[in-house]
Amino acid sequence: MQDSNQQIVIIIIAVIAVLLFLGILLLIMIWAYNNRRQQVAAERMQMKHAFDRQLLQATLEIQEETFNNISQELHDHVGQLLSLAKVQLNIIGQRAEQPDAGLQEVKDTIGQAMSILRDVAKGLSTERVQLFSFAGNIDQEIERINRSGVTQVSLLVEGMERPMEEQVKLILFRIIQESLQNVLKHAAATEVLITCRYMDTALYVSICDNGSGFHVAEALSKKSGLGLQHITGRAAILGGQADITSQPGKGTIITITIPHV
C-alpha cells in the first residue's frame, strides 16, 4: 500500500514537472514570438526611415540641380537681356536732345531688377552657398529681404562660428531660406530674428517672427504644410531635429538643433 502511494506521489510530481516544463516552454515561445515581432517591426521602421531619408536626399539633390540651372539661366540669359536693355536705354538717352525723366526712371527700375536678380541667383547657386561662411550666406539673404522694406530681418550670432561640412552648411541654409519664405508668404510679419547659438555639443538655430501664427498640427496635416515638412525632414537628414512652435496671433518660432557641427 505504501509503495502504491509513493508511486502515485511520484506520478503526480512527474505530471506537475511536465506541466511546469510545458508552461515555461510556452512562456519562452510567447516571449520569443513577441520579441521577434518587435524586432521585425523595428526593422520595418528602420527600413522606412532609411527609405524616407534616401528619398528626401534624392529630392534635395534634384532640387539643388534645379536651383543651379535656374541660377545659371537667370545669370546668363535674363541678366544679359536686362543689361542689353539698359545699354539700349543709355543710347536712346544720349541721342535725345533733352533729358527724359521717365527714361531715367526706367533705367533705375532696370538697375534695381538686375540687383535683385543677382541676389536671387546667388541664393540659388549651390557653389556660392558652399563658398561663403554660414553666417555670410545668412547675411546676404537678410540683405536681399530687407531691401524690400516689408519685413525687417536681423541676425544674432552667439559663440564662435565653427567650420562645417559643405553639405551640412548647404542643407541648413536651405532650411533657413524655406523658413524665411514661409514668413514672407504667410506670416505677414514685420520683424524676424535669426539666432545662431554655437554650443559645445550642438548648433542651435532659431527663426522667430512676430507674424500671424498658426495651428502647427493642423498646418502639418495639410498640403500647405509641405514647407514645414521639408524643414523637419532636412533637419533629420543632418541627424538633428526641428521644433515648430506657433499660435494664431502670437507669431512662430522654428528651432533647429544640429549636434556636433
- pLDDT tens per residue across span 199-253: 888 999 999 999 998 888 888 777 655 678 888 888 888 888 999 999 898 899 9
> Do 134 and 196 touch, CB atoms closer than 8 A?
yes
**Grid cell in block for residue 127:** 557653389
- Which residue's C-alpha cell is 528651432? 255
Please state, rounded to an integer, the average pLDDT across all residues of the chain: 79
153 Cβ partners below 8 Å, 6+ apart?
Answer: 142, 145, 146, 180, 191, 192, 193, 194
- Per-residue burial over 137-151, b if 16 or more Cβ lie within 10 Å, else e, is bbebbbebbeeeeeb
Tell me how far CA of residue 43 lies from CA of 16, 39, 155, 177, 239, in angstroms. 40, 6, 42, 34, 19
pTM: predicted TM-score of the whole model, two decimal places? 0.62
Which H or E run contains 10?
Answer: helix 2-73
Check residue 100 and give its pLDDT: 64
Q: How does pLDDT run across 105-127, given as a tens digit for each residue?
A: 777 777 767 676 676 666 667 77
- Which residue's C-alpha cell is 559643405? 166
Alpha helices in 194-246 (DSSP H): 216-220, 226-237
Check residue 96 and give its pLDDT: 65
Q: Which domains does the chain have, with CATH numbers?
A: 150-261 (3.30.565.10)
With a pLDDT cut of 70, the percent of the chain lying above it is 68
Check residue 163 and give its pLDDT: 80
**Regions of the chain with pLDDT less than 70:** 1-4, 48-82, 84-85, 87-89, 94-103, 112, 114, 116-117, 119-124, 223-226, 261
